[in-house]
Amino acid sequence: MSPLHNLSEETLILLLKKKNQQAFSYLYDNYADALYGVVRRIVTSVEHAEEVIQDVFVKIWKHVDHFDAEKGRLYTWMINIARNAALDYRKSKGAKNELKNQPLSNIVNREEELDRSQNERNARADFIGFKNVLDNLKPECRILIEMAYYEGYTQQEIAQQLDIPLGTIKTRTKAAFLHLKKLLKEYR
């Protein structure tokens, strides 16, 4: 067991800001699977998702000094980095070309792979209990958060996908995030 096995978040952040290698290893060991789950929901290719997660941890290491505990928890900050890196990759020219050049069999196999790995992703993300928090939301709120946050859809795209007026999506999304924020505060 690592000598850092029972670190408080404050101590972990302090050690990371001092560029402590053991603290970074601890961070990776304890959060990589959950962050990978976020990335994998957005980036379709396992190979590219692994590249993105490496980039995420490089960004965390380089920019940990920008973390502000007054604005939120370390895990939330890292999820935002992971999500943004995954969305940046998905919007990149290389990712768009990759999707255009896939044979139909790859698309079908990808859907089957995503279905099989759904339980695994949920288990990885749930070690922090986030799935339990999401499960406390109404289904119509949960789907909006999943589409916006994990799948990277814009509000316009969500409105089109769900065939709901954009104004309604904006109102429901705001309410969903406010409710999620309240649940997360209670979860602490």
Q: CA separation (Å) from 164 to 54, 94, 122?
A: 37, 32, 27
Q: Is the dihedral of CA 71, 56, 29, 47 positive or negative?
A: positive
Query: In this predicted model, what pLDDT tens digit does every residue of 5-54 receive, in sequence order?
Result: 677 889 999 999 999 999 999 999 989 998 998 898 888 888 899 999 99
Please give the helix or strand (H or E) that residue 46 lies within, else none. helix 46-63
Please give the helix or strand (H or E) that residue 131 lies within, else none. helix 130-135
**Residue 37 three-state SS:** helix
Q: Model-level pTM?
A: 0.59
Please give the helix or strand (H or E) that residue 39 lies within, else none. helix 21-42
pLDDT in tens, the chain (188 residues): 455 667 788 999 999 999 999 999 999 998 999 899 889 888 888 889 999 999 999 999 999 999 998 888 898 899 989 988 998 898 875 555 555 555 555 544 554 554 444 444 444 444 455 666 777 888 888 888 888 777 777 888 888 888 899 999 999 888 888 888 887 777 65
Alpha-carbon 76 to chain mean position: 9
